[in-house]
Amino acid sequence: MKEKYKIFVWEGPMVLRDYSHGMIVAIARNLGEALEKIGQKEDYAMGNFPVNDYKTYPIDKTNAWMVWGGG
């Protein structure tokens, strides 16, 4: 059976930090696939977030996430 897709979310003080916290979201079947997609999309992001500090959410219902901006 194929793995189901999940939403991987990285957020907090060490994620793509500039003047405020950043956020990364990836849709993938597993962590390795999520990191591969992040590296393909924005290779400068790699090394700028704690790889193992993430949350996952199954894609089987509706949901919403928000991030407030700041400077």
Q: CB 34: neighbour CB atoms within 10 A?
A: 23
User: What pLDDT, on the 0 to 100 scale, is given for residue 52?
Assistant: 93
So what's the pLDDT on residue 69? 66
Q: Could you tell me where the beta strands, DSSP code E, fall in the chain? A: 6-12, 22-28, 55-58
Could you tell me if 24 and 67 are in contact, meaning their C-beta atoms sit under 8 angstroms apart?
Answer: no
**pLDDT tens digits for the chain (71 residues)?**
788 899 999 988 888 877 778 888 999 999 999 999 999 988 888 888 899 999 998 888 787 777 776 65
> Which tokens is 9 given?
């979310």
